[in-house]
Amino acid sequence: HYVAVAKEVDVPIVLYNIPARTGNKLLPETVVKLAQDVDNIIGAKDSSSDWENLKAYIQLTKNLDKKFYVLSGNDALILPALKEGGTGGIAGCSNVYPHVLASIYNFFQEGKLEEAQAAQDSIADFRAVFKYGNPNTVVKKAVKLLGHPVGDGRRPFNYLSEEVMTALKAVLASNKEKGMN
């Protein structure tokens, strides 16, 4: 599938592993094979929450004959991925806390690992709200609460109970007091 698509387009391609949504895991061996064999496949984003899988993407692609970008799709694994040799992340939480998420990368690049870890840790209470519903719904509701009219998620992922909305509002208020943005 990936090879067939890559042959038909003249743009860089980033593979995306999100088995919770696709029902299919993109194995590290497949990623490295595609990276080696297909010129315009330049990276992979792993949103599986499987640290060993993400780490294998990094380890197996680091010695390729081309630059290959491995990105964490799990916001909680951005700093560990950077420490392992990954490129960064594509973070859903950055829709709510863009400066905080960018600072993880920036602090890491500056060698300020304690500050990078503090930034990484600071999103934990927001991510804890994800247990109450679809993370995409939580993010969209949070962005809307922050004054950005992004609309609702697609059905059936467009609803959070009043209990969850109360918890979300409390986390947003607490993080605002901490200066998070």
Catalytic machinery residues: 16, 45
What DSSP character marks residue 71?
Answer: E
Strand arrangement, sheet containing 88-89: 13-17, 41-46, 69-72, 88-89
Q: Which of 150, 149, 151, 145 has the alpha carbon at shortest distance from 173?
A: 145
What DSSP character marks residue 3?
Answer: H
Q: Using CA of residue 171, residue 172, residue 173, residue 174, what is the dihedral sign?
A: positive
Q: Which run of H or E residues covers position 120?
A: helix 113-122
